């Protein structure tokens, strides 16, 4: 029997793909295996199908990509795999899936084809015609006062944060929470003090917090230094995904992975540099989630190329 304190802990699932010795990009099928395994683990006693049905029962689902760095964005096979899982296991139609970003330009630069029509999965930047930022009110949380994209305030019922794990020279790390800078109209105002407490406060804005359902951080290829702009010299390979319903816990585990890759490559831990990731502590303070690894129910699974699954270690 699972102890109660474990049930109450935030669960983070790390799922790794062991069949990628060449460190290639994963395809849709491989991402799908990882997602099925991870979502099954998040379901605790149920399976991934039940989890999807319960987590995304109906309505429209947003998927916030990270396309800032055109050569290291949220990848299409991951989006395709996740979208298929949702549409096949819930009542949500493909057209009710909205893959979104700050601008159309960023989506296009990352290779996505825009689609605002009523057919097929939608791909929208906040600057798309008829979208924009919700100017009916300023949302406030802590030190943040911002307008939020209408995609979140008006168009979707649930949001999945599809971040990409990478080094960030100001925040220290960009994973899930930093990705939500793309939801507000004035992200440039929030980069002081290693983006803290701003990253926490942005994620605490009502539309962002209330519609957040899942964080999926792509840690297959991880730029461990000189980010967030792409720099192939600092690309490491973890071949895994980090999933959690708790955005703070997901980023806390992602930080361990980033630090691990930095250590492997002879770089100091971020906490020992001027790029210490400060926003996690700030997020924990305002009750957004747990940043303490000891309070996180961390599950690590390994998926082999033949689809078999086993438990594993984080490193």
Partner 1 sequence: MDRRKFIKCLGCTAAAAAASQTDFLPRALGGLQNAYAFSYTEKLSKVEARFYKKLEEGGIECGLCPRHCRITDLERGYCGVRENRDDVYYTLVYGLPCALNIDPIEKKPLFHFHPGTTAFSLATAGCNVNCKCCQNWDISQSRPEQTKNIDMPPKDVIDICRERKIPTIAYTYSEPVIFYEYMSDIAELGHKHDIKSVMITGGYIEKEPLAELIPRLDAIKVDLKAIRTDYYRDYVDGELQPVLDGLVQMKKAGIWLELVYLVIPTLNDSDAEFKELARWIKTNLGSDVPVHFSRFHPQYLLKNLPMTPEATLQRAHDISKAEGLDFVYLGNLPGHPAESTYCPGCGEILIERRGYRVAPRNLKGNRCGSCDREIPGRF
Please tell me what DSSP assigns to residue 125.
E
Where does residue 44 fall: left (phi above 0), alpha (psi -120 to 50 degrees), or beta otherwise? left
Is residue 253 within the footprint of partner 1 (CB under 8 A)?
A: no
- Tell which positions 272-311 bind partner 1, by CB under 8 A: none
Is residue 111 within the footprint of partner 1 (CB under 8 A)?
A: no
CA pair distance 46, 205, nearest whole angstrom: 31
Task: Give 184 or 257: the residue with its C-beta nearer to partner 1.
Answer: 184
Is residue 170 within the footprint of partner 1 (CB under 8 A)?
A: yes
* Binding pattern for the stretch 28-67 against partner 1, x by CB under 8 A and - elsewhere: ----------------------------------------
- In the bound complex, what is the minimum distance in angstroms from residue 130's beta carbon to partner 1? 15
CA pair distance 290, 213, nearest whole angstrom: 16
Residue 3 sits at φ, ψ, to 5 deg, of -60, 150
Task: Give 68 or 248: the residue with its C-beta nearer to partner 1.
Answer: 68
Is residue 75 within the footprint of partner 1 (CB under 8 A)?
A: no
Q: What is the CA radius of gyration of the chain?
A: 18
Task: Give 39 or 69: the residue with its C-beta nearer to partner 1.
Answer: 69
Measured at the alpha carbon of residue 305, what is the angle toward residues 301 and 311, in degrees to the nearest 5? 15
Interface segment toward partner 1; rule CB under 8 A; list 52-60, 89-97, 181-189, 204-212:
181-189
Is residue 226 within the footprint of partner 1 (CB under 8 A)?
A: yes
Task: Give 123 or 133: the residue with its C-beta nearer to partner 1.
Answer: 133
CA pair distance 232, 268, nearest whole angstrom: 19
The percent helix, strand, coil of the chain (3-state, each to 5) is 35, 25, 40
Is residue 168 within the footprint of partner 1 (CB under 8 A)?
A: yes
Q: Which positions ≥6 away from 196 have C-beta within 8 Å?
A: 171, 278, 279, 281, 282
CA pair distance 37, 15, nearest whole angstrom: 7
Task: Give 127 or 157: the residue with its C-beta nearer to partner 1.
Answer: 127
Is residue 133 within the footprint of partner 1 (CB under 8 A)?
A: yes
Task: Kindly state the tokens that stand for 52.
Answer: 């999807």
- In the bound complex, what is the minimum distance in angstroms from residue 139's beta carbon to partner 1? 11
Q: Which positions ≥6 away from 22 have C-beta within 8 Å?
A: none
Interface segment toward partner 1; rule CB under 8 A; list 48-56, 77-85, 180-188, 280-288:
180-188
Instruction: List contacts with partner 1 (CB under 8 A).
Output: 68-69, 103, 105, 127, 133, 138, 145, 168-170, 185-186, 188-189, 191-192, 226-231
């Amino acid at each position: 029997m699972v102890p109660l304190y474990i049930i109450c802990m935030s669960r983070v699932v790390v799922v790794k793909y062991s069949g990628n010795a060449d460190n290639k990009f994963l395809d849709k099928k491989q991402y799908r295996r990882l997602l099925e395994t991870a979502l099954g683990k998040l379901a605790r006693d149920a399976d991934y199908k039940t989890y999807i049905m319960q987590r995304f029962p109906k309505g429209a689902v947003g998927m916030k990509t990270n396309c800032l760095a055109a050569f290291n964005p949220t990848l299409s096979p991951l989006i395709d795999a996740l979208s298929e899982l949702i549409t096949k296991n819930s009542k949500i139609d493909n057209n009710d899936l909205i893959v979104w970003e700050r601008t159309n330009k960023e989506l296009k630069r990352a290779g996505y084809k825009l689609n605002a029509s009523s057919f097929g999965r939608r791909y929208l930047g906040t600057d798309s015609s008829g979208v924009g930022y919700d100017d009916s009110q300023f949302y406030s949380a802590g030190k943040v006062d911002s307008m939020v994209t209408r995609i979140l305030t008006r168009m979707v019922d649930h949001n999945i944060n599809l971040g990409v794990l990478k080094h960030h020279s100001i925040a220290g790390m960009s994973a899930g929470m930093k990705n939500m800078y793309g939801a507000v109209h004035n992200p440039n105002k929030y980069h002081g003090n290693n983006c803290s407490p701003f990253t926490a406060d942005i994620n605490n804005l009502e539309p962002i917090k209330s519609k957040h359902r899942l964080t999926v951080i792509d840690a297959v290829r991880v730029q461990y230094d000189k980010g967030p702009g792409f720099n192939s010299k600092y690309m490491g390979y973890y071949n895994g995904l980090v999933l959690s319903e708790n955005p703070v816990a997901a980023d806390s585990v992602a930080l361990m992975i980033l630090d691990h890759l930095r250590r492997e490559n002879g770089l100091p831990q971020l906490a020992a540099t001027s790029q210490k990731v400060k926003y996690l502590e700030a997020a924990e303070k305002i009750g957004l989630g747990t940043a303490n690894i000891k309070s996180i129910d961390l599950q690590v699974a390994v998926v082999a190329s033949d689809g078999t699954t086993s438990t594993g270690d984080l490193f």
